[in-house]
Amino acid sequence: MPTADGGLHAVIADNPSDREQIERIRQHLQEEARTVVPIVGSVPP
């Protein structure tokens, strides 16, 4: 699943047949990706 800054999220399930749980995780990652503010440039120490 691509992120806004070009990264990727991978969903790896203990039980790959649990599609409902996988979908909940994907939805959560999408929500998190929308709330993350990308940092442009460097941050001084």
Question: Would the pLDDT of 7 be above 80?
Answer: no
pTM of the predicted protein model: 0.51
- What per-residue confidence (pLDDT) applies to 25? 83
Contact yes or no for 16/10 (Cβ under 8 A): no
- What per-residue confidence (pLDDT) applies to 14? 84
* Mean of pLDDT over the chain: 74
Residue with tokens 């909940």, as numbered in its chain: 24
Question: Would the pLDDT of 3 be above 70?
Answer: no
- What per-residue confidence (pLDDT) applies to 12? 77
The pair of three-digit structure tokens given for residue 24, joined into one six-digit string: 């909940």
Question: Would the pLDDT of 34 be above 70?
Answer: yes
Return the higher-pLDDT residue of 39 and 18: 18
